[in-house]
């Protein structure tokens, strides 16, 4: 179990490039859905959503809880996700 000494803020968006300059200043991470097609939204409720499942899995795989802020994670349907630090 990971214990964080401060809160992490993450913005999930389809317009990640627009927010790249603000992420380090606003002390937040960005998860970009730009490359995902509209068909990724399978269900109207949280447990049925393929997007929610993908975000949850990749957040754990990339250990975003320890990154805390100033990062960009671009999700791609072919699972070639891109992670980079912005600071």
Reported as a single tens digit per residue, the pLDDT across 48-67 is 677 888 888 998 999 888 88
Give the span between the Cα atoms of 12 and 55, in whole angstroms: 9
Domain boundaries, the chain: 10-85
% of residues, the chain, pLDDT over 70: 79
Is pTM, for the whole model, over 0.85?
A: no
Distances (CA, A) of 2 to 27, 33, 39, 67, 86: 20, 26, 33, 12, 23
**Which has the minimum average pLDDT: 5-9, 14-18, 33-37?**
5-9
């Amino acid at each position: 179990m990971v214990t964080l000494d401060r809160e992490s803020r993450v913005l999930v968006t389809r317009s990640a490039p627009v927010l790249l300059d603000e992420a380090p200043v606003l002390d937040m991470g960005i998860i970009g859905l730009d490359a995902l097609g509209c068909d990724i939204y399978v269900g109207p409720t949280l447990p049925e959503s393929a997007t929610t499942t993908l975000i949850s899995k990749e957040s754990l795989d990339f250990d975003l809880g320890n990154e805390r802020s100033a990062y960009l994670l671009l999700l791609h349907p072919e699972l070639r996700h891109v992670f980079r630090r912005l600071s």
